[in-house]
Amino acid sequence: MAPPLSRRHLLQTAVLTAVTHGATTGVATAAHGRSPAAPVPAPDAWGVRPFALGDVALGPGVFADKRRLMLDHARGYDVNRLLQVFRANAGLSTLGAVAPGGWEGLDGEANGNLRGHYTGHFLTMLSQAYAGTGEQVFADKIRTMVGALAEVREALRREPAVLSTDGRFGGAVENVRGSYQYVDLPAGVLGGAAEITLAAWVRPAHDGAWARVCDFGDDTTRYLYLAARDAAGVPRFAITTEGPGGEQALSGTAALPSGRWSHLAVTLAGGTGTLYVDGVAVARNTAMSLTPAALGPLAHHWLGRSHFAADPVFAGAFGGFDMWSRALTADEIARLQSGPGRGDLVSYAFDETSGGTFADGSGRGLTATLRRTWGGPSHPGFLAAYPETQFIQLESMTGSDYTKVWAPYYTAHKILRGLLDAHLTTGDDRALDLASGLCDWMHSRLSRLPAATLQRMWGIFSSGEFGGIVEAICDLHALTGKAEHLALARLFDLDRLIDACAAGTDVLDGLHANQHIPIFTGYVRLYDETGEERYLTAAKNFWGMVVPHRMYGIGGTSSGEFWKARDVIAGTMSATTAETCCAYNMLKLSRTLFFHDQDPAYMDYYERALYNQVLGSKQDRPDAEKPLVTYFIGLTPGHVRDYTPKQGTTCCEGTGMESATKYQDSVYFAQADGSALYVNLYSPTTLTWAEKGVTVTQTTDFPREQGTTLTIGGGSASFALRLRVPSWATAGFRVTVNGRPVPGTPRPGGYFTVSRTWRRGDIVRVGIPFRLRVEKTPDDPSLQTLFLGPVNLVARDPATHHLELGLYRNAGLSGDLLPSLTPVPGEPLHYTLGGIALAPFFEGTEDPTHAYFRRAEPRVVFGGTDSGVANPARPDGTTLLDDIWAGAPFADKGALVARVRSAVDAWRSAGLLGRADGDRVVETARRASYAP
């Protein structure tokens, strides 16, 4: 007998199988070498519950093909590259790893102020990959990352420690770029000297301008410094009592080589200053009247840090630093190249291998201390790839400036989500401890702030963006039960938005789309935790403001990341429409809302966005370095998708990695009481429904196949099978069980229920004939997009103007426009029309595409027979052919001809069509032949 499950295990399993986030999809099946998750009731408010990713195996097809590319990327990618920025921030060795670049590094956009976000995405992707496949390589990578992040947090909790490296004459200390560490020297190191020599061995690791070797001063007025590089890229020494405008300076003639040891020395005496590089004098200034004595006592004496806040901290290694109270001769400087010197004012060899202090060899006992520019975390749970100053600055910001603060709580969300998913998938308690500590730290910061400050923060674009953090915190609360965690989730309430949406007031115009979509998924989870109706009502109303009013045909939303006015679609198309993150988050919100309200519209949208934008956002080729996922999908004519935007580490590539490893997360849901199984999507999958002791295997090549076959395996069980009838399924929806038709009238945009006691070997066949249809933009009905069943068809053509297409020419009696297209042999879902190639949007190619076209029906044509009559139009753009075909489907040819006569009479009466032309139109309709 199995041991009883603990409360902790039950909570863990509940989140695995029930939370709205696709990644926390539980424990894989026994086929993966692990026990399946025990069934746990979903929240009381949920009418249905999802299955764990490991309970739904993905079969061959378009989804498996896309996932395979992402899994290959995940298997081969060195996660130490992602950990580089975390280790650097903690002053730890980065193991020689190079950060990916782009948004995940120090040199990317806005100085890398979003770094760490991609690491969280990657953890979630790995967790989903492990849950879905059970491959050990993914678990190993997760454990490596979690272990490293635990070390990082521990290092951040304590004072900085020496990172030793090989020096010029022994040991040296490394200052990792991104560590914000410097050496703090005691007061009095200059000793009021009237003459001085500074000498340092340095090995720069970065070419940032104005990084200091040393900077002694009070502020930005009274100081002396030695910089490894100035604005011209050469070493510079300066001394002043009047700020930059009064500097007396020495500048070198060549840049110091990166990654190699160089010796810098400066002598200052008798009004003359000399700068030496590697023992050779490279600059001399005989008008340097200032001396350290003239500066007087100074507040700070720093190695590696500047008094100018915008200057970078020195990145590289110090192999020695000495100061003498006299000017060494040129010969003495030259001799320093062959062995360490010992200054009489101060002398640091930097050969320590532990601790956080450096011994002074001058005899004066001036021990130096390693410090961080930002001090250290305000709470031991802090974990980030940059200093806490990003969070602190946000609290006083009143306007947007992402170059200073770029969405730190958004980044915290990605890290938190990744850690939660890692814990839930592998059972690693270190990940849970890190996640819990991170929320403890956030609560300690945010709970002290006035409500008005929080409302201001969360309203700032994009610095105040916090992504799906509320959802993640609620999921953590389900594990920890800590009151502080639920309280923390509520501190992210953006009241003006919640209240407006709860009241049904559309305030989305001008808002940043992806800043706001994921917060509503979190608010639904807060409804689950608190029972406050305004959260759920606001989320439902918000969804209805986006779908369909701000939705493009492919399911995407946003233009240049922002929303425009309601029902303006044609007027918002650009090269930066449909941000991929928006589709990802709209899927999550739709899924979460469906748990509460089984409205088929949510799953209709889910299918649209998944089978089109989400699938189409992944390029169909392998790549070891990049996930190859779009940021924007431009809907302008001839747009070519960019699968490596901004060096490949954007938010959309992060969510794209997640999407490609959880395609199966919403194929099936179970009624909360186990009485029904919802089949939401038609996808080749095998569901293991442990609660019922059955399996359900879908065999299909949907959407290349117009239907699916479901086979019941395992034992027998009674439940209702609820098959989604897509809203586009107007050509019929036929269901047989073991070859016998199931009576009933399926309604497009609903669910068709088959209730029985199912037995092993039962076969359910679902036929869903596709029709070709158009969807018109509300603000320009002549601009249209083309669908065959669930699949958006795009024209592949290099033209940069809207193509003009006519589709009524061979329309069938059913109203199906497909007979006007010519199939491409051997290529399902590929057609031609007038020499123009049409293909599924979901194919991830780099062909120039047209998702929208201009509808042009210049003449009245029926069944390929041209009447020779111009197709008249009303002032609103509606044409005679539009009016006629609006009556489809037609029972037979006679019904179509009757419709033609009626329409012709109406248009003739309105003075829009002459009698002779009208007669020709009717006669042509009577003579033509039609497809069904």
Q: What tens digit of pLDDT does each residue of 110-135 get?
A: 989 999 999 999 999 999 999 999 99
Whether 386 shows a pLDDT value over 90: the answer reads yes
Whether 447 shows a pLDDT value over 90: the answer reads yes
Mean pLDDT score, 715-729: 98
Dihedral of alpha carbons 568, 572, 578, 579, sign: negative
Q: Are strands 300-303 and 849-850 parallel, antiparallel or unpaired?
A: unpaired
Whether 20 shows a pLDDT value over 50: the answer reads no
**Rounded Cα–Cα distance for residues 77 and 106 (Å):** 20
Give the model's confidence band at 32: pLDDT under 50 very low, under 70 low, under 90 confident, else very high. Answer: very low
- Give 286-345 pLDDT, tens digit per residue: 999 999 999 999 999 999 999 999 999 999 999 999 999 999 999 999 999 998 889 999
**Rounded Cα–Cα distance for residues 853 and 172 (Å):** 65
At 507, the amino acid letter reads V
**Rounded Cα–Cα distance for residues 286 and 730 (Å):** 91
At 767, the amino acid letter reads G
And the tokens for 545? 């403001």
Whether 8 shows a pLDDT value over 90: the answer reads no
At 382, the amino acid letter reads F
**H or E segment to which residue 317 belongs:** strand 316-324
Q: Which residue carries 């497809």 as its tokens?
A: 931
| pLDDT recorded at residue 30 | 32
| pLDDT recorded at residue 9 | 36
Whether 84 shows a pLDDT value over 50: the answer reads yes
| Candidates 3.30.70.890, 2.60.120.200, 3.90.45.10, 3.40.50.10320; CATH matching 181-372 | 2.60.120.200
**Rounded Cα–Cα distance for residues 605 and 550 (Å):** 13
Please answer whether residues 598 and 552 qualify as being in contact, where contact means their C-beta atoms are separated by less than 8 angstroms: no
Shortest CA distance to 210 belongs to which of 247, 185, 236, 184? 236
Mean pLDDT score, 589-594: 98
Whether 151 shows a pLDDT value over 80: the answer reads yes
**Rounded Cα–Cα distance for residues 208 and 313 (Å):** 9
Q: Where are the domains of the chain?
A: 60-160+379-492, 181-372, 857-932
**Rounded Cα–Cα distance for residues 673 and 692 (Å):** 11
| pLDDT recorded at residue 526 | 97
Whether 37 shows a pLDDT value over 80: the answer reads no
- Give 158-202 pLDDT, tens digit per residue: 999 999 999 999 999 999 999 999 999 999 999 999 999 999 999
Please answer whether residues 678 and 751 qualify as being in contact, where contact means their C-beta atoms are separated by less than 8 angstroms: yes
Give the model's confidence band at 519: pLDDT under 50 very low, under 70 low, under 90 confident, else very high. Answer: very high
**Rounded Cα–Cα distance for residues 359 and 820 (Å):** 85
Whether 22 shows a pLDDT value over 70: the answer reads no
Q: Are strands 804-805 and 822-823 parallel, antiparallel or unpaired?
A: unpaired
**Rounded Cα–Cα distance for residues 684 and 667 (Å):** 10
What is the 8-class DSSP label of residue 240? Answer: E
Give SS3 for 852: coil
Give the model's confidence band at 876: pLDDT under 50 very low, under 70 low, under 90 confident, else very high. Answer: confident
Mean pLDDT score, 262-277: 98
And the tokens for 569? 């679609």
Mean pLDDT score, 614-636: 97
Question: For the chain, what's the residue count?
Answer: 932
| pLDDT recorded at residue 36 | 27
pTM for the whole structure: 0.94
Report the chain's mean pLDDT, rounded to a whole number. Answer: 94
Q: Which residue carries 């012709």 as its tokens?
A: 904
Give the model's confidence band at 42: pLDDT under 50 very low, under 70 low, under 90 confident, else very high. Answer: confident
| pLDDT recorded at residue 647 | 81
| pLDDT recorded at residue 12 | 38
Mean pLDDT score, 491-512: 98
Whether 693 shows a pLDDT value over 50: the answer reads yes
Q: Which residue carries 């370095």 as its tokens?
A: 625
**Rounded Cα–Cα distance for residues 901 and 910 (Å):** 14
Mean pLDDT score, 211-223: 97
Give every CB contact of residue 708 below 8 A, 6+ residues apart in sequence.
Answer: 682, 698, 699, 700, 702, 765, 766, 768
| pLDDT recorded at residue 257 | 97
Whether 664 shows a pLDDT value over 70: the answer reads yes
| pLDDT recorded at residue 520 | 98
Give SS3 for 432: helix
What is the 8-class DSSP label of residue 512? Answer: B
And the tokens for 688? 């293991």
- Give 797-846 pLDDT, tens digit per residue: 999 999 999 999 999 999 999 999 999 999 999 999 999 999 999 999 99
Please answer whether residues 722 and 756 qualify as being in contact, where contact means their C-beta atoms are separated by less than 8 angstroms: no
Percentage of the chain with pLDDT > 90?
93
**Rounded Cα–Cα distance for residues 610 and 859 (Å):** 37
Give the model's confidence band at 29: pLDDT under 50 very low, under 70 low, under 90 confident, else very high. Answer: very low
| pLDDT recorded at residue 340 | 86
Alpha helices in 610-650 (DSSP H): 615-616
Cβ–Cβ contacts within 10 Å for residue 7, how many?
8
| pLDDT recorded at residue 339 | 87
Residue 408: burial class (beta carbons within 10 Å; 0-12, 13-18, 19+): buried
Give the model's confidence band at 35: pLDDT under 50 very low, under 70 low, under 90 confident, else very high. Answer: very low
Please answer whether residues 291 and 227 qualify as being in contact, where contact means their C-beta atoms are separated by less than 8 angstroms: no
Cβ–Cβ contacts within 10 Å for residue 76, how many?
12
| pLDDT recorded at residue 909 | 96
| pLDDT recorded at residue 34 | 36
